[in-house]
Structure 1
Amino acid sequence: MSWIQSMLRPHLRSFTPYASARRSMSGGSIWLNANESPFGRAYSVSTADLNRYPDFQNQALNQAYADYAGVQLKQVMSHRGSDESIELLIRTFCEPGRDQILICPPTYGMYAISAAINHNETITIPLQQKNWQLDLAGIEAALADPNNSVKVVFICNPSNPLGNQLRQQDIERVVALCAGKALVVVDEAYIEFVDAPATTTMARYLDQYDNLVVMRTLSKAFGLAGIRVGFTLANQAIVDALLPVLAPYPLPDVSVQIARQALTLDERLVTRQNTIEIVAEREALLIALPTFPWVRSVVPSVTNFILLQVENANALMQHCQDAGILLRNQSAQLGLSDCVRITVGSPEENERLLEVLASFSSAA
């Protein structure tokens, strides 16, 4: 062991980082591996004030998102994507080496990664594989176990990497079970792709539950993954607890400028139009994908991606990569043997994808 290794915190000496889409794969001409929007658009920014530090919390941006999400300004905090929210929630509420988070895999990998970095154990209560819904009995038992000290429960809804929607009454049940003991964080990165998101989001219940947190992002439906803007929605007491832990200047000024433009009514209409097109493309793929003989099953999706189980995920990944198409292998996730996640691309990208998949089918 080198002296640098010996200086590391012991629990990080064999730490495995999150394998992001850009970190784990490169090259290709069609990127369908990161759940990004296929639609980009141009924004104008001013560089006149780049010699100055940006706002700690830009009130105009936060108000614009509060209006969009249907919440109050005091219930909004902006920061660098949802990943920073995950980290902040764990660092603020979980004592290293003592408290735990609870997750329901298969789910987004950064919950457990952020907990591990902060030296917090992750308790896993897998989704029920018969319907990919929450195991309420398992969650209740874990919360009631006197040996556990769960402080934060992360629920991804709509689910990533599955793409399905969890039952709202089940999420409310978890919030009730955690009342006075733990936060329940609902990750709604893909909420814009569901039917009637305004009547589906848990943000409607922020005034009702003081332990509820909702995470949002501009990276998916808004097509702004490159500016790294996310939001934490919660009651004021939670926001006030998080703010002292947040970095002094969390968002660059250019990111704030673009985000504010994206949240204007005209730009929101463009986002909505793009979302409708993505959903239409998703539905077409959901019809086409099961027709390939090597597809074992396809998970119904309400997001901008589709998860399918195939006969040989590694072979399919290599076949597509050789054709310049990058997909995401999810086989390492609990219960997802030989599963591949496909981001819904543009009509042209999806057409090319199906051509490549058809050639794999004929060779299988």
Structure 2
Amino acid sequence: MKTEALARASVRALTPYQSARRLGGKGDVWLNANEYPCAVEFTLTQQTLNRYPECQPTALIERYAAYAGVKPGQVVVSRGADEGIELFIRAFCEPGQDAVLYCPPTYGMYSVSAETTGVECRTAPTLSDWQLDLAAIEQRLDGVKVVFVCSPNNPTGQLINPDALRALLVMTRDRAIVVIDEAYIEFCPQATLAGWLNDYPHLAILRTLSKAFALAGLRCGFTLANEEVINLLLKVIAPYPLSTPVADIAAQALSPAGIEAMRARVAETIENRRLLVDGLKAINDVEQVFTSETNYVLARFVDSGRLFKSLWDRGIILRDQSKQTSLSGCLRITVGTRAECLRVLDALRDQEGQ
């Protein structure tokens, strides 16, 4: 017997999430993972590496709660928001019995996390404008325990209509947990649903330090929810989800100075996004540039496959989204430095008419 045959059938059949690093490439302009383009320096202050860390470091929880405008008892910290996704599936879904629902095109880890735990995945594809199809969601809700919605949505970049989100929360009350993925909320902070938690006991929100806080390599994410939900997640989380250095650096990033620096990075990114969007709109091979409230831009190209490979060969690594539902011909471009944005635009102009 081959060792592989011992694995669960669902794992043998699983197509793993194709992260930017798994897809590889050899470049010097990395615009495929929605990272901040420059490193931010930190110095470790905690030297107690001989001891296990707290499961939920008090200082970090208190700082994030203050930043997010919630109570400390409404926060869980985890190894990135990706672990937060898994916690909801493990806490609320019985394998082989319950289901999760998500609305493509959207982030791919909702399905991968469900499939690895033997939980059914259901989809309610979005409407032509990538807004929620509430009627389709309602038709598919029986047996669904967790609904994932990304807003701003990755990879499309737009916010989900708040009226639709309220309708979804009304529809799912006493039926399912609604998890709003706010990984990119720092680029449009006025749109957060954190202020809705008191009105909807089944609402939860995912956050991360990977994007605007420029700490993708730290792997630190947060879940905001009411205490009843938080206590359930704490039952299934690992005993020591964050290492001491991660908690140390994350707490520094959430200091008043750290938050001020993050907001300066956001302002810089938005300015560079404007430059990138304006430049893309002037290129003949670009059919459409979509509105973005994030640190990336989605655009539809006349020949996306050729352009993607051409830039790849020149060391400019973008993310091809053309195989996702309703995203034919679309490439996603992370907003890099001003110089990186100009290099992308120059490379695309060089390809015009070829």
Q: Superposition pairs for residues 209-358 of structure 1, below 5 Å?
A: 209-358=200-349
Matched, 1:139 2:137: yes
CA distances 1:171-219 after superposition (whole Å, capped 9, x unpaired)? 111011110010000000000111xx1x321111111110000000000
- RMSD of aligned alpha carbons: 1.0
Aligned pair count reads 354
Contact 2:321 / 2:330 at 8 angstroms: preserved in 1? yes
Report the equivalent of 2:185. Answer: 191
Q: Which runs of no fewer than 5 residues in structure 2 stay unpaired?
A: none
Report the equivalent of 1:43. Answer: 42
Please report how far the alpha carbon of residue 40 of structure 1 lies from its aligned counterpart in structure 2 after TM superposition.
2.1
Contact 2:46 / 2:248 at 8 angstroms: preserved in 1? no
Could you state the TM-score of these two structures normalised by the residue count of structure 1?
A: 0.95
CA distance in 1: counterparts of 2:300 and 2:312, whole angstroms = 18
Please report how far the alpha carbon of residue 58 of structure 1 lies from its aligned counterpart in structure 2 after TM superposition.
0.2
CA distance in 2: counterparts of 1:258 and 1:100, whole angstroms = 36
CA distance in 2: counterparts of 1:87 and 1:48, whole angstroms = 30
- Aligned-partner SS, 1:231: strand
Aligned match of 1:207 in 198, 209, 217?
198
CA distance in 2: counterparts of 1:320 and 1:13, whole angstroms = 34
Aligned match of 2:144 in 135, 138, 150?
150
Please report how far the alpha carbon of residue 91 of structure 1 lies from its aligned counterpart in structure 2 after TM superposition.
1.0
Please report how far the alpha carbon of residue 294 of structure 1 lies from its aligned counterpart in structure 2 after TM superposition.
1.2
Moved over 3 A (4+): none
CA distances 1:275-316 after superposition (whole Å, capped 9, x unpaired)? 001001111211110211111111111100011111222211
CA distance in 2: counterparts of 1:13 and 1:249, whole angstroms = 29
Report the equivalent of 2:114. Answer: 115
Please report how far the alpha carbon of residue 3 of structure 1 lies from its aligned counterpart in structure 2 after TM superposition.
2.4
CA distances 1:250-272 after superposition (whole Å, capped 9, x unpaired)? 01111111111111111111110
Contact 2:75 / 2:223 at 8 angstroms: preserved in 1? yes
- Aligned-partner SS, 2:13: coil
- Aligned-partner SS, 2:204: strand
Contact 2:106 / 2:154 at 8 angstroms: preserved in 1? yes
- Aligned-partner SS, 2:352: helix
- Which is further off, 47-56 or 69-78? 47-56
CA distance in 1: counterparts of 2:253 and 2:21, whole angstroms = 24
Contact 2:99 / 2:121 at 8 angstroms: preserved in 1? yes
CA distances 1:308-364 after superposition (whole Å, capped 9, x unpaired)? 1112222111111111111000111111112100000011111111111111224x2
Please report how far the alpha carbon of residue 26 of structure 1 lies from its aligned counterpart in structure 2 after TM superposition.
2.9
CA distance in 2: counterparts of 1:66 and 1:304, whole angstroms = 24
CA distance in 2: counterparts of 1:26 and 1:264, whole angstroms = 36
Q: Superposition pairs for residues 141-180 of structure 1, below 5 Å?
A: 141-143=139-141, 148-180=142-174
Please report how far the alpha carbon of residue 121 of structure 1 lies from its aligned counterpart in structure 2 after TM superposition.
1.4
Q: Which amino acid aligns with 2:239?
A: P
Q: Which amino acid aligns with 1:311?
A: V
Contact 1:37 / 1:223 at 8 angstroms: preserved in 2? yes
CA distance in 2: counterparts of 1:215 and 1:10, whole angstroms = 30
Q: Which amino acid aligns with 1:56?
A: C
CA distances 1:3-57 after superposition (whole Å, capped 9, x unpaired)? 2122111122221100000011232101000000123211110362111111110
Report the equivalent of 1:68. Answer: 67
CA distance in 2: counterparts of 1:174 and 1:322, whole angstroms = 44
CA distances 1:105-156 after superposition (whole Å, capped 9, x unpaired)? 0000000000111111111111111x2211111112222xxxx300000000
Matched, 1:104 2:100: no
CA distance in 1: counterparts of 2:323 and 2:74, whole angstroms = 36
CA distance in 2: counterparts of 1:29 and 1:171, whole angstroms = 39
CA distance in 2: counterparts of 1:106 and 1:14, whole angstroms = 22
- Aligned-partner SS, 1:49: coil
Identity across the alignment (%): 45
Report the equivalent of 2:126. Answer: 127
CA distance in 2: counterparts of 1:175 and 1:45, whole angstroms = 42
Contact 1:39 / 1:274 at 8 angstroms: preserved in 2? no
Contact 2:81 / 2:222 at 8 angstroms: preserved in 1? yes
CA distance in 1: counterparts of 2:78 and 2:224, whole angstroms = 11
Q: Which runs of no fewer than 5 residues in structure 1 stay unpaired?
A: none
CA distance in 2: counterparts of 1:80 and 1:261, whole angstroms = 17
